[in-house]
Chain A
């Protein structure tokens, strides 16, 4: 693509691209990390091969796009222009799909989504219950475009917000629009973005920097990853608009090195944007000079904290420093810096295009717009979900998520990554907004949502998160470094059945202290998993302490495996899998378990057909 010299040329370019848009059918296959893992690349290869074999390569397009969100049913694809949605596609289905396109688009019945409630097949993506309740303003384009091609993004209206801003908006107006839209930081804390930008504009120091925080480290979270992999230009466009409004000269995108596809796509996108005149000197003839650098993180969770992230970019050890001074006063290289999350930057073009009024009409009183969650854990529809703020957890779990698998009971929902809190099943009508979640002892976080069923032990869960945080705490301040270790030590004791009643008070005290006294956001939220489970599942802690019993039958020190002699048919299956030779008994006679040798690995339960192995 040639260099665009003005917003007008950009518009013309889009019209040209639209004109070239033929009625050619297109199979767009999701090639996000989730679908790739379930074999999307094989499907793509098979499709290309099949088309070539039939000489249809020029008449039917195949496109590999970013994440569509429905990872559970991957690989997924949409066949344009009919917009037929297929899920669970394998490479063997390539022939049938190509056949259906050539034979007048008769859909392949078995690949259509089957509604588990009605048993009916669903033809279009927007009719699938998983998508029906979503409002995909950030992720909507993911399924339409090839992230490696800037022309795809321009075709769907990309960079039009930038063009609009450069021609019609003053710098103040951009900040004002963001402020009026009520956009809040999507990284977790929910600080009003407009206020942050305004604070930066007050500073007279030059140069100013912009940072895009893509150091997504929460276990089970992949929102930023999918956005960067699937639609990197939307983030870049947001950053350029920010650069115009904030008079920034350079930006850094700090992305995890563990996201190779995101790094690759971002690199390609930056190069293409620069070639197209959307980055570099004199952007679209407006006189704006702006560059974006890509920095890869070295794998520290704490570098998601803004001051630690700045230290990491500067080449120092990724440890936070106290605020104030805030980054908007003294940030990267000591200059004023605005740091925002990937989703925050991607929301900016949407606000510019559709207006602050439209954006602020979505959501609740104080939380506006949409929020992206990665819905994982014990849930039927695992995937990426974009919903308007204020939607209840019930709608999230049952309408979108399709409920808990295997008919198990929902127990709790953990929101906000390792430092988020657990919300019990009886609070399922809680609306998702910043304030409501914080009051409930959890937090919005960057959007991880882990669903847990009755088989999860809450004490064990709290211990797991403490183990994670103990390793990921940077170790600079005492309460976070030592406190997470101490909390784990106490939880270990309780899980082993060696806890006492005073431990509960100690957990409360230590948790409160770590929260109050820690240096950065990591420490200040680190005790949340312990404090929230103590608040809502205290009886479970008490069962571990008083009765030396794990109600969910998870904590190994507190459970015993037994074979029910009346059910056991003596098939010997368990004897064969037991690694410690702790199952005794002759064939065709009921077996017994030597509890002294048993390591409670659960292998016998899995193979026992008559379900004779019981856990007490």
Chain B
């Protein structure tokens, strides 16, 4: 059984495990967008990057590698949250937000990672080509009704020749697994690319919702700075009223 060190903690995992498995076993959170335990790792979203020390003939070299595809090996040294990893993830998420600003999951990730600016033009592509739907259809539903078509900037998830395939049973598994389908909160700053405005404003987003309850899970930004923040109990009368309702 390979024994590796993650953030200074030694851990022994089963042969065949990935570094991501090992880190999760230790309870270390690593963000992912294209990973699912029931599907083969794909390594496309690059968010699960960790810093790994590899030694070759000329000494040790630290490299960023996707932990979801990296088999755990004996004597491996891994850092999951070094400054290099954090910076790479932040810059990556900034680009994700610009590509798909309507996704709650990506917006939440940005808030959690402390991304406070988005310097790219918003694109609203909606699909991040994580390949979860394609793999779900093929590996779990044994259908293979959708796949990738095109290359580079023309690549997209598509049906064969753009016609609904006979193989599609319309099971909805692709919809279920899509990480970016759930749309973001349409709160106070919906028009901006980055929706962590709640972190910076004192009024909570419920007020601008006209006292209507939000149907989404609480946004990460709300959890840190807004009405659902865990550290400070918000004692607003109006707010308690809404929550009770």
Give me the interface of A with B, judged by CB distance under 8 Å.
Answer: 192, 195, 300, 302, 317, 321-322, 324-325, 470-479, 481-486, 489, 502, 506, 509-510, 512-513, 516-519
Say yes or no: A489-B121 contact (C-beta < 8 A), given A510-B95, A516-B84: yes
* Residues on B with beta carbons closer than 8 Å to the beta carbon of A474: 151-152, 155
13 contacts between A and B (CB under 8 A): A322-B41, A322-B43, A322-B65, A322-B69, A470-B153, A477-B45, A482-B95, A489-B120, A513-B91, A516-B64, A517-B64, A519-B43, A519-B46
Whether A518 contacts B46 in the complex (CB less than 8 A), given A475-B129, A483-B95, comes out as yes
As a 0/1 sequence over residues 75 to 116 of chain B, the CB contacts with chain A under 8 angstroms (1 = contact) are 000000000100110011001101100000000000000000
- Docked complex Cα distance between A317 and B150 (Å): 10
Interface residue B119 (Cβ < 8 Å from any Cβ of A): yes
**Which residues on the A side are within 8 Å of B120 (C-beta)?**
486, 489, 506
Partner among A192, A317, A472, A509 whose Cβ is within 8 Å of the Cβ of B91: A509
Given contacts A195-B57, A506-B119, contact A478 B88 (CB under 8 A): no
By a CB distance below 8 angstroms, the chain A residues around B43 are 321-322, 477, 519
Interchain Cβ contacts within 8 Å, total number: 96
Judging by beta carbons under 8 Å apart, are A475 and B46 in contact?
Answer: no
- Rounded to whole angstroms, the CA-CA distance of A519 and B49 in the bound complex is 10
* Interface presence of B66 (CB below 8 A): yes
Instruction: Kindly name the residue among A192, A195, A477 whose own CB sees the greatest number of chain B CB atoms within 10 A.
Output: A477
Which residues of A are found within 8 Å of B44, using beta-carbon distances? 476-478, 519
B148 CB-CB contact with A under 8 Å: yes
B128 adjacent to A478 (CB under 8 Å)? yes
- Is the Cβ of B70 less than 8 Å from the Cβ of A517? no
The count of residues in chain B whose C-beta lies closer than 8 Å to any C-beta of chain A is 35
Could you tell me the distance in whole angstroms from the C-beta of A185 to the nearest C-beta in chain B?
14
Q: Nearest Cβ distance between residue B39 and chain A, in whole angstroms?
A: 14
B178 CB, nearest partner CB in chain A, Å: 15
Q: How far is the CA of A317 from the CA of B134 in the complex (A)?
A: 14
Contact A517–B46 (Cβ < 8 Å): yes
Please judge, given known A-B contacts A476-B44, A510-B91, whether A481 and B153 are in contact too, CB under 8 Å.
yes
CA of A482 to CA of B129, assembled, Å = 11
Is A473 in contact with B152, judged by CB distance below 8 angstroms? yes
Which 9 pairs between the two chains have the least Cβ-Cβ distance? Answer: A475-B155, A513-B91, A322-B69, A322-B43, A517-B46, A473-B152, A475-B152, A477-B44, A516-B88
List, in ascending order, chain A residues with CB within 8 A of B45's CB: 477-478
B71 beta carbon closer than 8 Å to chain A: yes
Closest Cβ of chain A: how far from B123's Cβ, in Å? 9
B71 with A517: CB separation less than 8 A: no
Give the complex CA separation of A324 and B71 in angstroms: 8
Closest to A520 in B: B43
Q: Which of B65, B121, B151 is in CB contact (< 8 Å) with A300?
A: B151
Q: How far is B148's CA from A512's CA once the two chains are assembled, in angstroms?
A: 28
B153 touches A475 (CB 8 A): yes
Contact residues in A for B151 (Cβ distance below 8 Å): 300, 302, 471-475
Interchain CB contact under 8 A, B96 and A478: yes
Do A471 and B153 touch (CB < 8 A)? yes
B152 touches A478 (CB 8 A): no
Q: In chain A, what residue has the closest Cβ to B148?
A: A317
A321 neighbours in B (Cβ, 8 Å): 43, 69
Interface centre among A482, A483, A489, A506 (most CB of B within 10 A): A482
A470–B154 Cα distance when bound, in Å, is 10
| Known contacts A516-B84, A517-B88; A470 and B95 CB within 8 A of each other | no
CB of A472 within 8 A of CB of B119, answer no
CB contacts (< 8 Å) of A300 on chain B: these are 151
A489-B121, A509-B91, A510-B91 known; A517 vs B152 contact (CB < 8 Å): no
